[in-house]
Structure 1
């Protein structure tokens, strides 16, 4: 199917709201703060929203559904994910997987056909909606599953994706694809199957270009539309290298990433460009990429991202990054 993520109404900014912070990722957000953020995004024109059962053990889905249910259903695109099932447990730890003050459920992997159907139906109940516009297979990669990764890959190909196609046929989901931060697993799936969309976190950014040589050209050729998460690489491209310890991939940044970011910062200073503006605008230049999904925690962060996308950046800035070897020759620039 042909699918595109809608930009912000009115402004045309290619920015969507990622729902991990709505599930209390790393720190708690109150229900009122969560609603204020979604409402602010909506009123600014945002029409693309992403969530997952993993985000706060259903908390993000509850909050996003409550905020969006009053809007005309065909006026926005909402994605969620499959691969993890939630089971109620009053004794479940309230802090798990980086999420705090979560809902009382246990989480278990399930990529089976039956588990995929249950995951979608459970998500729709938490959201209070009758369909998902996008359903992603969540984190089927080797870093997550270790020695079980080959079995998971086989099950995704044999059960999960066919089950999602059936749910697509029934009208419960629209586009289907993968949601991951791993390039290799996407290439492995593409070698044997077709899908419509890809949520790729952190692997095509101003700092990390690992999706550029092979994956993004395949997506362009095969019509797979890409939504990018993690364009700040979990922090370092938002905060820079000064001040508190920078993070990359949700861990302290290795020296090579800190040094490379510092070189990018120096070019930013020479051209009076915000690092955040460069980080948001760079990946959107690739023809496979539809949108950046921003995991904003506050209204101020959302408004800042909009301002950064509007920030004027001279072509000479991108040319200097290329001359210094900080972006590849093959990378399109705005």
Structure 2
């Protein structure tokens, strides 16, 4: 990834979906899903305390503890610290249908970062991770520009990034990442922090490529790697433009549905499944190291693996550009 020595498979596993955001799946199904990914050759597993309110880390760790540690790459995230709920009996957390019952707070200070890191290792049951990712330091999660500035102050002046840099320089972790749900924050991160890679969710997909304006050229010039999350735009590029299709975790608007229909039609003309084009498209950018779709069943894993292996004719990319469905400057074969 980027300038680091952390090597990853082009297809990784995003741990958000097995945090039970929309449905509660049995533990045996979560275990079978992770096993299917590993057995198919996936060797990068990304998780976070936030996913399932710590459930994803428990599940990912439970499976990976059965594997040889040197054979896989494991990443998790910092920025939230968890504690017992003030009122366990009435706990509600609507973001994760199957989320575990713990309170959380954002904390990007040195103490918060190190506390989050240690808690994650304990939940995973694995005493090392390959990278730590600064999670959700953006306008949505911090509520405003003022909130973003306050979080950056914790990260920089409060010693959070210094703690991460010390973990990296000591060899305890191999890389430092930062999650990106929007364009516009990568230049700010790179001004203040020596980031190795960004986990980009939404700004660079088959549906939208705003990251080509500034963020991706800056990363490429500086040798900063990119991991693509939400490669299916949170749903619509996996399901197709169906009546209940999701985009950015919300029902897709008419303009998105129209564009998705156009992309799907081009894919159909070339005999290419829409998910195959969606998974493979970002990997043609030289800064992108891997894509990490989620899955909550072995069948979904198998579908992702098949989509990655599907042969895509060059004419498909050319037609998407000629129809104005992807940007002309988007790297393609």
Compute the TM-score of the two structures, normalised by the length of structure 1. 0.93
Q: CA deviation at 1:152?
A: 1.2
Helix, strand or coil: the match of 1:184?
coil
Q: CA deviation at 1:95?
A: 4.8
User: In the alignment, is residue 38 of structure 1 matched against residue 56 of structure 2?
Assistant: no
Residue in 2 that maps onto 1:331: 330
- Going from structure 1 to structure 2, the CA distance change for 1:129 and 1:283 (only over 3 Å counts) comes to same
Residue 106 (structure 2) pairs with residue 125 (structure 1): no
Distance 1:221 1:132 in 2: 27
Q: Which of the numbers 68, 87, 91 marks the counterpart of 2:88?
A: 91
1:142 to 2:146 alignment:
no
- Unaligned 5+ residue runs, structure 2? none
1:256 aligned to 2:243? no
Instruction: Name which of structure 1's ranges 88-97 and 129-138 shifts more when overlaid on structure 2.
Output: 88-97
**Number of residue equivalences:** 327
1:62 lines up with 2:85 in the alignment: no
Q: Could you tell me which residue of structure 1 aligns to residue 155 of structure 2?
A: 156
Residues 260, 326 of structure 1: 8 Å contact kept = yes
The structure with higher relative contact order (CA 8 Å, sep 6+) is: 2
Distance in 2 between the 1:22 and 1:266 partners?
31
Conservation of the 8 A alpha-carbon contact between 1:226 and 1:288: yes
Please tell me whether residue 78 in structure 1 is matched to residue 68 in structure 2: no
Q: Who is 2:193 aligned against?
A: 193
Q: Residue 173 of structure 1 corresponds to which residue in structure 2?
A: 173
Aligned equivalents of 1:263 and 1:3: distance in 2?
Answer: 40
Secondary structure of the equivalent of 1:179?
strand
Where in structure 1 are there 5+ consecutive unaligned residues? 8-13
Alignment correspondent of 2:4: 2
Preserved contact between residue 95 and residue 102 of structure 1 (Cα < 8 Å) = no
After superposition, the C-alpha distances for 1:243-296 in whole angstroms (9 at most, x for unaligned) are x32211000112211111111112112222211111111111000001000111
Rounded to whole Å, the distance in 2 between the matches of 1:101 and 1:214 is 37
Which residue number in structure 2 is paired with residue 100 of structure 1?
97
Distance 1:174 1:102 in 2: 29
Retained in 2: the 8 A contact 1:131–1:171?
no
Distance across 1 between alignment mates of 2:239 and 2:92: 26
Does the Cα contact within 8 Å between 1:4 and 1:290 map onto a contact in 2? no
Runs of 4+ aligned structure 1 residues displaced above 4 Å come to 92-95
Q: Is the 8 A contact 1:237 1:275 kept in 2?
A: yes
Residue-by-residue CA offset, 1:126-185 (whole Å, 9 max, x unaligned): 111111101000000012212312111232233322111112234432200101312212
